[in-house]
Structures are given as C-alpha cells and as structure tokens.
Structure 1
C-alpha cells in the first residue's frame, strides 16, 4: 500500500494554499469576505516499518513522540480482547484493533501508556490506515494537557498480520512547532442586525480538501445568494478542528472556532449571532445525524426531508462545532455523518464530501435560510420540558437546579432566557473504566446531573474493577476501585459538587441581570432603582 501521511494540517503550507483558494472562490458568491490569522501548534509526522528487509508505510497518530525501535517477535503482543489488558508487561509492543470511536481511542491509548507499553500499533479492518489525535492525559477538560509519552501508529490489517511473530523495526519522525492558521469569514447580507453562522472546517489529518466540510461552502454560498434572506448569513471556515490547539487543552477539538467566538465576544459582536448551523464531518451517505438544541428541533425543513435522508436527531454536542456555540449561549445545530462514517474520517479510505449531491446541499441551504427566519423565543416550552425531562427523577438536588434555571423566566424576556439558560445549562459528562473497558461521553443540558448520566455513573462504579475516570469540562477524578469503595458516598459527593457550582453560576446570573436592570432604571431617574 503506497501512502504518505499528508493532509491539510493547521499552520502548514497546504492549509495556507487551501485557505487562499477558498477565499478567492467565496468572493465570487458573497458580499464581503476576510481572513483572521490565529496561533496554532503545527505538527508533522512520518512513519515507516521494516519487516524482514521490506519497508512498509504506516501512520503516526498526531502528537505521537518520535521513536526508532527494533524489537523481536517475543516482545510483540497481539491484544485480541481488551479484557486482557492487565496481562500486558512493560516495554512490549502492543498490536490492537483501532477503536470504533474517538473517546475509546483516547482512553485505550492512555490505559496502555499507563502500563509502560513501549509502542501501540493500532490496525484497521482493511487495506487502509487511520490517524486521530492522542494526548498524555485521559480527561476532556479545558485545562492544559501534555503530549503522549507512548508513541502510537496505525497500520492496515495486512501489515498487522505481518508484524505478529516477526522482528520489526519501527521509525516515527515527528515535530511540533508554533505557527499560524487561518479563519475565513464571508457574509451574505440580508435584513436586520442579526446573523446566522454556517460553519465548516478546512483542515484534515489525512486526505485533501474534498475531505473537509468547507469544500462545499462555495456551492452552498451560490444556493444562499439566490435566496431572499430575511437576515444575514456569515459563512465560517476554520482550521485546527482536531489538531493545533495552542493552549493544548484536553478538549482539543474546535480550537479555531473557539478562538473566533472569543474574539467576537471581546469585540462585543457575539450578541449578533442568532444561531448557528455547523457542518461536521460529512461523507457520502444518506444517513445524516442532526445534533440540535431543544428550541431548534421543530424546524419544518427537518420534518420535510425524511424521505430523502435517514435523519437521526439527538442532543449530544460532544466534540462537535455546535458545542462551542451552545457553551456561549447560542442555539446551534450540527449536521454530520459520524459515527456512521467513522472509518472514512481521517483515513485513507476513498470517502469524499463532493459526492454529497444536490439533495444534501439543498437541505443545508434551506436549513440555513430557515434559521435566519426562525424565532426560537416561541419554543421556550420545549426548552423547559427538555430540562425537566433530562433531570428526571435523579435526585432532589438535581431537580432543584432544573427549576432554578426555569426561574430565570421571571426576570428575562424569552429571547434572553433561551440564551442564558443555554449558556448556564450546557456541560460535559464522561465516565471511563479500564476493566471492563467502557467509555461514556456526552455534552448536553444539565448532562452532569441528568438521570441517564447518574444511572450510568452508578453502574460504572458498581461494575468497574480497574481504573475509573469521572469528569466534566473543568475537572476529573481518577481512582482505582478497590475493596471497601462506596459508590453511594462517591455519587453523593459528586452530585453535591456539581449542583453547588451550577447553582452558583445561576445565582450570579440572576444578580447580574437584576443589577443591570436597576442601573438602566437609575439612568432614567426612577426613584425605586436609584434607591437600590
């Protein structure tokens, strides 16, 4: 298999070329366009294997450290079952099947690294390779992580069969340096001040520009330009989706988009953004996953397209572009073909996004146009019902937090209530266990104290016989389950910690809005507010 590990990596020459090309193409279909440069870590990696005098290509997983090692057949361990992880010994090379999700990959690599493995060789189920980012820590917080200490590579299934039982020389060359990448924003003017963001990404770890969602932005712009828009649409193409986070956070996804929204907030422009439609990884399939906010789930366009596509709707924004927006209080939707196209993403499989077809482009354009006109303030009941149903019958403390969020309607208008409840309510929850191997990861409204999450956590704590990780976007706990461990005491402490922080945020928001209201009243000479 001939393969060179090149993609459109953040801060690379290829990324600069494609961003210039995309900008020049977009200018023909929009009213204005510009580029924003931002800092990234630029990573490069090459991988080769030498088996019985023959050289084979492989893929180094991003952030893997450089290594050159020669091992005999006795040191190579084929891990057929994850239940046998505890049998592995230090300084061995482990050959294991590539996991079926990113969170499983991160957790498996961390567990193997903690056992002193010299090199992890992942293999796919066909004649292709895949490479997703690995880090040195297991959590998904917005705190700094570290590069992995254990190198990880990926080979095809055929190469994996050659490796087992033979002596192998492995060489991984990698480098990490500071650089700059680009964000492109382009506008199609409508009426009014509000705007809807339509977001794509233009970097890819393995592949070319047709493997990015931004590759369809020009066609999409042509569709939208022909529409009679009630509001403004801003097309966003960003880099550093999965690699390049300059802060090197554990939740390293969507660094470029996070940078953009923070920049807009500092300029006082984020309040203009009414909602967002994000294009996550999209590949050639009729199965499309729609990850939405509760107030946007009833948009008529989605209900009318079930005959053209197999749509599945859920609210788990984890590792998707929409998570950046909802975390900032902006209702958002992501369209993606993940997890259905997991093996196409960041791999050498021939899966492109240019084959989506006119039906898919029409769906995206009509959905963007509908968002411009959609008044989500009329859907506050859907938001309230979702918050209450999510918490369910979990605990009294969790239910009180849900009703505390609903109480914001007493001091806010419906539009501000939706945005503030979104900003305060969205969070991340994950639990992982090494034995039996399991991973749960969600990003949703009050997900940390939802009935489903607490039930999952209770089950993990009761069944896990190895290392366990439980956390959110701010912190995580690691522990080894041993005799005498009380899951109920752990759960009680966990709920108290989450509820206390969430209630504190809600109370601070209430105080801030009351103070702002009093100040506005004092400016107009209202005696009641002046006395406050």
Structure 2
C-alpha cells in the first residue's frame, strides 16, 4: 500500500495547532482529500499556539541540549542539581533531575508530588528510551475543563544518553538552564472536514487529528492514512450513510484557557458548535482513530454500538468496552450524547507518552487493517434503524441485587419508551458520568452509572484489605471519595461508602424524574 502522509516532510515535522506549519499541512491534506471526497472544507477553531525556539543546559562550561515542556515560556534559572527530594532540602536553589515514564497525566501527578516551592526547575528524562519527551504540564492539582495555569517552574527534558554526563559535569557546581518559548494568544487552529455523500439524512463521523508532538507517526499520522484509505473505499462502495471525515486541530494542546484537561480541545469546540447549530442530531455515531503505538488494535465503544463492534472483533481487534474513551476525541462526541467507537492502542501510549523517535516501521499493514475495520464499522452503522438496548440491559443487571435495582429498571423503562437515535442517546447520557480516580490508581472512566460502579469497586477493594488512599472525583459534581483506609478504619469506611452509594442512587432517581417529565413534555 502506498502511503500518502507518512514520510512527507510537512507532516513528520512537529505540528502545533494555530501555527503556520499547521496551515500548510491542512492545505496539503485538503488537496489529498479533494481527490477522494465529494467535498472538503476547513473549520476554524480559536486556540492558543505554542512555539519552542531554544533550550540549553550549561554546566561547568559544557552545554547540553534540552526540550521545553509546553506551555513553558521564556526562562533563565540557575541552581544545583539533585536527584531526589531529600537532597533538595539540603541545598539552595535545587534543580531536580527525574526519570519519568509515561504520558502527561502521569508526569503531572509526579510533578505535583515533588513540587514544594523550593525547586527552581525540573529536568526529566525517559528511563527506557533515549528520547526527548513532550508532554503538557499543568499547575493544577486535579483534572478540570475549566481555566487552568501552567506549571509554576520550568520543566525540560533531556535524552537518557546525556544524563550520566550531565550528572558528572554538574557535580559540585551550579548549572544554568536557558529556554526560549512563547505562547501565541488569539491564534486560529484549522480542522479539516471532508464528506463522502451517501444515502439519507444521517451521518457517520470518522476522525483523527493532524496536530502532533515530534514526528507524530503513531499519534496520529497513521490515523490520517486510514481516513484517506477509508474515503477511497467509500467512493466505490455505495449504499452507506453520509460519512463526514474529520482531521481535528488542537488534540494535543490548544485550549485558550489552558485547562488541566488539556487534550481534545479541537473536537470539543467542533462538537459544541454542531450542537449549537442543531446539526449534531444527524450524527449516528463517531469513529475515532488515534494513538496507535505498537501492533495491537483495540476498540473502545459506547454500549449502543456493541453490535457493530462485534462484527470486527474477528479482525484481531481487542474488545476494551468503555475503557479509554475519555482519553480520546471520542469523548467529545460522547459528551454531546453521540455514541462513539475508538480504534487505538491507548495502554501502550499511556506507558510511553510522546517521544521524539518512532519504534518500528511496518505501518502499511496497520493502515490496511484500520481501513478494513473502519469500513466494516461504517457499513454496519449505516444499517442501524435504532440503537440496540440489549447491551445496556445486560450492564444494568449487575445492580439487580443492590439498592440501585429500581433505578436500573427505571432507566430501561425510559429507554424503551423513546425511539430514535438522538432521544435514546440523550437519555443514557444523563446517567453516564465521568469519574476521575487519582488514588489508588490514576485513571479516567466514563459510562453508565460509573459513579456507582466506582464506589462498589472501592468497597470490594477495602473488604479485601487493600489499604491506603482512595481519592476519586466526578468531573461535573466534584469529590466522590476522599479517604485513607487502614485496618482500624476498614469497616467504618466501607459502611460510609455504602451510604454514599445510596445517596448517589437517590440523586440519579431525582434526575430520572426530570428526564421522564421531559419525555412526557411536562414541566417540572
């Protein structure tokens, strides 16, 4: 298979939303889609852009190259290098050298733990790869879609191969870190939108993104190749729904308010605009392709789409259920009540993060498989007359023996009483919170009654004598669990959490009354 994007210089350079390089890349991508789609246009998005110009570490007359972590801006600091927090307490103006593996949220949690107000800067490196890292660092302690701030001190990365020399050279002397970078406010990011016309009024959206850190092969040039291949297949297929193909801007960074939930701003703004214009009612489902590090292809999906995902599981696709959806552009659609399926290898990306070199070179087979799986999904979604309720019913049966059994039955009754894609999706969205767990494990989950599910899992863990901190938030409603458990508090905490479970059930039941009234057209 001949590749159109991978290997072309304009795409394999770092592309930041709102930059001139993005403008040139979107134009080149648009020219490619004009050959395979029925129409092509761009969608402007307000963004903050970021430009890195230089990063250097000077130690004992030697100079080491570094890479600034966004959204860091111009800085010049001096201090003494230390390798742990205990050492930092013993020296003036410490600069912490830290080995960190993984993506941005992992790094941010680590930085929050080590930042004590005394550090002048943090230098990070990947302990398993000789690469610079590029992750967005935030000054906020938790995840939020609201206004945030940058990390208060400079954070830069170096290659693993430079760490030993840097430590030896900096021993016994002060170092200087110099960086030039800037934020560009009021910039414009460009999302590319192309369409392959089909039958009827409804649409299936298939999306990837073109902005990326470093060379972006896995995140997400492979996704762009797959979208081009999908468009070629659709032109000759016929008998499918209208398919809108989208390459988003500002997937990695770009929200003007710098929230700690820094990813997927481009798709959030796009879906919000669709909803404000009433156009989102036409969208049956979204297919997101992203984060394809490694050879494994995984599918995460809304339960309404289980029937279609089941048809592609035989193609070597790992079934992940609802897991990982909040990390991807699929979540922007879910947040607006549109079911989504994501094709990805997110677990590998979470462990790896953004590095400046690619691993492997067999991209063609991955692209071919993605095109085939995407085409089969589009064909199945085009045949849907309404969303399948059986997977939701199966999920709700787990509450049959709990205090939530009446709530579960009421949700199914509401779903059965409404017809049509949008109405069923909007009902289920009302009871599908986004839950962020910071302890004992950092993860984000979205799904039907996910708050209740999380509380039950915490109770089970405590009853298995898993002690320690439990810190969990509801993205919209705030704190859900914040306790420390040991052998003395085990039974009391478990009892309190059961009461919290009952309280959340009552909140959902109150909401269900409003949903029923809306269905019946009655004001409450």
**Fold conserved between structures, TM > 0.5:** yes
Greater shift after overlay, 254-263 or 117-126?
117-126
Aligned residues: 495
Alpha-carbon distance change, 488 to 357 in structure 1, aligned in 2, over 3 angstroms: closer
Matched, 1:297 2:306: yes
- Is the 2:124–2:155 Cα contact (8 Å) retained in structure 1? yes
Deviation at 1:492, TM superposition (A): 5.5
Match of 1:259 in 2: 269
Q: Distance in 2 between matches of 1:438 and 1:32?
A: 45
How far apart are 1:15 and its partner, in Å? 0.9
Match of residue 206 from structure 2: 198
Cα deviation per residue 1:496-516 (whole Å; 9 max; x = unaligned)?
664455444433222122117
Match of 2:224 among 196, 214, 226: 214
Match of 2:100 in 1: 98
1:160 CA displacement: 2.2
- Once the 2 structures are TM-superposed, how far is the Cα of residue 479 of structure 1 from its aligned partner? 6.4
Out of 330, 354, 358, the position equivalent to 1:350 is 358
Match of 1:365 in 2: 375
- Aligned in 2, Cα 1:444/1:246: closer, same or farther, shift over 3 Å? same
Corresponding position of 1:387: 396
Are 2:181 and 1:174 equivalent residues in the alignment? Answer: yes
Call closer, same or farther: CA 1:57–1:457 in 2, change over 3 Å. farther
Contact 1:233 1:372 (C-alpha < 8 Å) held by counterparts = no
Q: Deviations over 1:414-447 (max 9, x none)?
A: 64563123321322212224xxx74232222221
Task: Show the 5 A alignment for 1:118-267.
Answer: 118-124=120-126, 125-165=128-168, 166=170, 167=173, 168-178=175-185, 179-207=187-215, 211-212=219-220, 213-267=223-277
1:493 CA displacement? 6.8
For structure 1, which segment, 263-272 or 488-497, has the greater mean C-alpha deviation from structure 2 after superposition? Answer: 488-497
1:487 aligns with 2:497: no
- Following superposition, the deviation at residue 17 of structure 1 comes to 0.9
Say if 1:21 and 1:373 are closer, same or farther in 2 by CA, change over 3 A.
same
Partner in structure 2 of residue 464 of structure 1: 468
Q: Calculate the aligned-residue CA RMSD, in Å.
A: 3.4
Range 149-158 or range 256-265, more displaced: 149-158
CA contact (8 A) 1:8 1:209 kept: no
User: Structure 1 residue 146: deviation in Å?
Assistant: 1.8
User: 1:219 Cα shift?
Assistant: 2.6
Once residues 492 and 87 of structure 1 are traced to their aligned partners in structure 2, the CA distance between those partners, rounded to angstroms, is 42
Cα gap change, 1:463 to 1:104, in 2 (>3 Å): farther
- The correspondence for 1:334, drawn from 337, 342, 346, is 342
Q: Secondary structure at the match of 1:426?
A: coil
Q: 1:29 to 1:446 in 2, by over 3 A?
A: same
Structure 1: which 5+ runs fail to align?
519-531
* Equivalent runs, 1:74-113 vs 2, <5 Å: 76-78=82-84, 91-113=93-115
Q: Following TM superposition, by how much is the alpha carbon of 1:349 offset from its aligned partner in structure 2, in angstroms? A: 1.5
Which of 423, 439, 444 aligns to 1:441? It is 444
Cα separation, 2, equivalents of 1:404 and 1:150 = 51
The 1:330–1:405 alpha-carbon spacing in structure 2 relative to 1, beyond 3 Å, is same
Which digits, 9 at most, give the CA deviation of each residue in 1:393-422, with x for residues without a partner?
Answer: 6x52x4444333223135312645631233
In the TM superposition, residue 192 of structure 1 has moved relative to its aligned partner by 0.5
Is this contact kept in 2: 1:142–1:474, CA < 8 A? no
What is the rounded CA distance, in whole Å, between the counterparts of 2:50 and 2:257 in structure 1? 14
Residues of 2 paired with 1:90 and 1:497: CA distance?
50
1:442–1:392 Cα change, 3 Å: farther
Q: Is the 8 A contact 1:427 1:472 kept in 2?
A: yes
CA distance in 2, matches of 1:151, 1:476: 29
Deviations 1:462-501 (A, max 9, x none): 7336xx6421212444968599986357636754664455
**How do residues 409-448 of structure 1 correspond to structure 2 at under 5 angstroms?**
409=415, 411-413=417-419, 415=421, 418-433=424-439, 438-448=441-451
Question: Partner of 2:9 in structure 1?
Answer: none
| 1:522 aligned partner | none
Distance 2:21 2:476 in 1: 34
Q: Is the 8 A contact 1:141 1:475 kept in 2?
A: no
Alpha-carbon distance, 1:226 to partner: 1.6
CA contact 2:286–2:340 (8 Å) conserved in 1: yes
Show the counterpart of 2:6. Answer: none
Q: Is the 2:462–2:494 contact (alpha carbons within 8 Å) kept by the matching residues of 1?
A: no
Shift of residue 336 of structure 1? Answer: 0.7
| Unaligned stretches of 5+ residues in structure 2 | 1-11
